[in-house]
Structure formats: C-alpha cells, structure tokens
Amino acid sequence: MHGCGNDYIYVNTMECDVSSPSEAAIAWSDRHKGIGSDGLVLIGRSPVAEADYSMRIFNADGSEAMMCGNASRCIGKYLYDRKITTKTQIRLLTLSGVKVLNLHVGSEGVVDAVTVDMGEPVFEDERLFIPNRGISQGVFVSMGNPHYVIFTENVDQVGEAGRTLENHPAFPQRCNIEFVQIVSDKTAEHTTVRTRVWERGSGITQACGTGACATAVAAAMTGCASRKSDIAMDGGTLSIEWCENDRSAEGCFFQKNHVYMTGPAEFVFDGEIDSI
C-alpha cells in the first residue's frame, strides 16, 4: 500500500506472524532483490483496551520507527476495506501512543481518505549551522518522532544534505529532515507548501505524514503559513490543520492544539513471500 507514494509492505499479524521483522524489512524493502518499499508495517490486535488495533513499523534499514502518518492511514483503509472492522473511527496503538483514525467512506463503500489525529506537537529550541552547505537554521518539531524543518528556496538539496543532517551529532537518535518552500500567500485560508523529505532510516521518500505535520506546524509557528496547509510532496499532497480551538465537524471532534492530517491511502498489490 502507499500514501502519497510513501510505500510500505503490510502484514496482518492476526493471520500470520513475522518472526524477525527487522531482518524482513531489510530484505523485502530492497527494490532490486526484494519486494521494494520504504519499510515494513505490522498490523495487529491491541494489547491494551484503549486501542482497537496496533501498528509496528520498521524502516528499510531495519530500525523500528515510532510513528508513520501515511502508514496509519493505510491501516485504516486496510481494516475497513478488507471487512476486518465496520468502524469508521479506529483507535490505533503506536509507539507514539494511541492515534485516532477517522475514515471517509465513499459511495462505493470503500475508504477514499483518512483523517488522523496526530496529537500535539512538541518543540525544542534546536538550531544548527552546517558549514559550506548554506543551511543556517531550522525548526525542531516532534510529532511522536523527531523532525528538523528547514525553510529554503532549494528543496532539491534534500539528497545532498539530508544524510548529513540525519546523522548530525545534535540528533543522537538521528532525525527526519524536511526541506520546505512556501509557494502561496501565507494569508490564504490554506497555504500551499512544497516539501521534500529525508526520512530517518529510509532516505528520500515520496512523502512523510509526520513530516508533513511537522512542516505545517513549523510554518505556522514562524508566521510563514496559516494553521491550515496543503503540503505538496513528491508523491502527492496532504491537508494539515493545526487546530486553534475545539470544534466538531463532519462527525469528527477536533481538539485544540492537535494536528490533523487528511489524505488518501491506496492498495498496490497483494502477494505471498517466505518469511525470514
């Protein structure tokens, strides 16, 4: 499945287990010798009453991630479209806590889009200077996983600088890096923002859900954008709202200071492979 081109291999562990998910993620994610993906996602039953299902996600390098917005949307579509659940609001347990998925079901009875309550952003006063790379500073935002958002006129430096920044000493657990350019009037109701992503453990990816959220929050808090943004990434666009006040709309409750991500999720293909 993929969300805006951010593609993962999904295994329903309620039907079959993956004994060595880290090894499997490395082998299966290889785009030349394996299935090819940005990583491996395991869908399971929740071990706690506060959630309906659980998600574990392993990057292409085998490291386990805390959270993935695109993967969470795909899980919502998978569970509903495969008739594992009839709920249109699903509580998903991640290593970053329980995330609420609101499914938007179309006229054909399948999920067209998913809105995810990504929770509240967390900030740190982190500033970096990378000599000879023209990067003076950025904004650190945690969306359950770490992101460093850099405003620039050259988002295509993602490949040149992303690896260096991911492994910079300022980030002892490594970091996701976003290169961001504001491309529309910041006073517009929805600000359009161009973003390219270097994901921790996977490199350049087509999209990153938590990265889109971090981008939108960083742009709003620095006055570069409104609190509603359309984040245009290589693989597609996500709509992000950093909610200013409590409200209800379209059957969803929006909580003050929470970040809400809305976007598509798509099946690509099904298959079978020997486990590691």
Using H for helix, E for strand and C for coil, what is the string for the chain? CEECCEECEEEECCCCCCCCHHHHHHHHHCCCCCCCCCEEEEEEECCCCCCCEEEEEEECCCCEECCCHHHHHHHHHHHHHCCCCCCCEEEEEECCEEEEEEEEECCCCCEEEEEEECCCCEEECCCCCECCCCECCCEEEECCCEEEEEECCCHHHHHHHHHHHHCCCCCCCCCEEEEEEECCCCCCCCEEEEEEEEECCCEEECCCHHHHHHHHHHHHHCCCCCCEEEEEECCEEEEEEECCCCEEECCEEECCCCEEEEECCECCCCCCCCCC
For the chain, the first-to-last Cα distance in angstroms comes to 21
Report how far apart, in Å, the C-alpha atoms of 12 and of each of 25, 45, 92, 206 are. Answer: 15, 9, 14, 24
The C-alpha atoms of residue 141 and residue 121 are separated, in whole angstroms, by 6
Q: What's the pLDDT score for residue 19?
A: 92
Quickly state the pLDDT bin for 59 (edges 50, 70, 90). very high
Residues noted as catalytic: 68, 208
User: What 8-state DSSP symbol labels residue 43?
Assistant: E
Quickly state the pLDDT bin for 170 (edges 50, 70, 90). confident
Mind listing the pLDDT tens digit for each residue in 197-234? 999 999 999 999 999 999 999 999 999 999 999 999 99
**pLDDT mean over 145-162:** 92
**pLDDT mean over 237-244:** 96
Name the phi and psi angles at 221, rounded to 5.
-70, -25
- Which domains are delineated in the chain? 2-119 (3.10.310.10), 122-248 (3.10.310.10)
Quickly state the pLDDT bin for 274 (edges 50, 70, 90). confident
> What's the pTM?
0.90
Q: 31 is written with which tokens? A: 């785009």
User: What 8-state DSSP symbol labels residue 157?
Assistant: G
The C-alpha atoms of residue 36 and residue 96 are separated, in whole angstroms, by 26
Mean pLDDT estimate for the chain:
92
| CA angle, residues 229, 234, 236, in degrees to nearest 5 | 55
Quickly state the pLDDT bin for 249 (edges 50, 70, 90). confident
Q: 104 is written with which tokens? A: 């938007």
Q: What's the pLDDT score for residue 45?
A: 97
**pLDDT mean over 99-104:** 96
For residue 204, the number of C-alpha atoms closer than 13 Å in the C-beta half-sphere is 14
Quickly state the pLDDT bin for 185 (edges 50, 70, 90). confident
Q: What's the pLDDT score for residue 178?
A: 96
Q: 53 is written with which tokens? A: 């299902």
